[in-house]
Amino acid sequence: MSKFFPIRLLERRQIAPSVLHLAFVRDDGEALDYTPGQFIQIHFPLADGSSARRSYSCATRHDHRIASGEAVEFVASIVPGGAATALFQGMAIGDHLQASGPLGLFTLKPDDASRRYLLIATGTGVASYRSMLPQLDALIRERGVEVVLVHGARMPSELLFADEFLAMVDRHPGKFRYLPCLSREALDDDAAAFARAEAAHGYVQNRLAELAPSAGNDIAYMCGNPNMVDAVVAALKEHGLPMKDIRREKYISLK
């Protein structure tokens, strides 16, 4: 059986100035089940005839088997001159792509016994954590874990899925914290919707000291910009976190 399968575009929306939200359905009658945090790859030809592949974290909130016919969502950065960007922008609803996967080990582990999860992302990297929301909801209710989601973005309009993270803050006061970090534009005074978020100006790594991560207490996840991932890993090691409790997904751009 081929490792490739066709996916069909169901919906495309621009959800931020530089982000597309895409929904696809697997179109060969098989389920596209995945563990939250995993990604799929798409495969497409370039203008010179060579083939390209790009990876995208599954963003569908996932607490059940994704059956045949059910949508798989992801969010894609709009990169000027980007090959996949042009492909997504040019697709019509109903068009097909070749895909493979799901792949990756950036998932919550059933044996984790930490008291707190630190979930750190930049940009579209937050998609993985959106997909984990049902699992996190259950872990907070059943095991009393704390979750701190730190999201780095340039401006408020890039705080993807903020309403869903704020709903988790409301649902689990003190147990689910949402810390947006804005590198260019601060939240303005009208941003009442963000009142329950602990927003700050700057980069995600600047928030680590106040969170005081420690070995045995925390398991940390990082997803997105490779420079951010490296900086946060270095900082977490300085706080004494062992590598087994540091999990990362770098959004590396393939040539």
Span 216-255, contacts to ligand FAD by CB under 6 A: 249, 251-253
- Choose among 10, 17, 4: nearest CA to 92: 10
Taking residues 173 to 212 in sequence order and writing x for each that binds ligand FAD by CB under 6 A, - otherwise, the string is ----------------------------------------
Nearer to ligand FAD, 57 or 205 (CB): 57
Residue with tokens 């903020």: 162
Q: φ and ψ at 96, to 5 degrees?
A: -110, 155
Burial of 222 (0-12, 13-18, 19+ CB in 10 A): buried
Nearer to ligand FAD, 56 or 194 (CB): 56
Work out the end-to-end distance of the chain between its first and last CA atoms, rounded to an integer number of angstroms.
28
State the maximum Cα–Cα separation within the chain, in Å, rounded to a whole number: 56
Q: How many residues bind ligand FAD (CB under 6 A)?
A: 21
Distance CA(182)–CA(186), nearest Å, equals 6
Beta carbon of residue 123, minimum distance to ligand FAD (angstroms, whole number): 7
Beta carbon of residue 200, minimum distance to ligand FAD (angstroms, whole number): 23
> Can residue 75 be called a binding residue for ligand FAD (CB under 6 A)?
yes
Nearer to ligand FAD, 121 or 136 (CB): 121
Beta carbon of residue 239, minimum distance to ligand FAD (angstroms, whole number): 25
Which letter does DSSP use for residue 44 in this model?
E
Distance CA(15)–CA(88), nearest Å, equals 14
Nearer to ligand FAD, 15 or 31 (CB): 15
Which letter does DSSP use for residue 93 in this model?
T
Please choose, out of 76-84, 114-122, 145-153, 161-169, the segment that lies near ligand FAD by the rule CB under 6 A. Answer: 76-84
Residue choice 38, 57, 107, 122 for contact with ligand FAD (CB under 6 A): 57
Nearer to ligand FAD, 81 or 174 (CB): 81
Span 83-102, contacts to ligand FAD by CB under 6 A: 83-85
Distance CA(72)–CA(90), nearest Å, equals 19
What is the SS3 assignment for 108?
A: coil
> Can residue 165 be called a binding residue for ligand FAD (CB under 6 A)?
no
Distance CA(197)–CA(192), nearest Å, equals 10
How many CB atoms lie under 10 A from the CB of residue 214?
Answer: 12
Span 12-51, contacts to ligand FAD by CB under 6 A: 39
Contact positions toward ligand FAD, by CB under 6 A? 39, 54-57, 74-77, 79, 81-85, 124, 127, 249, 251-253
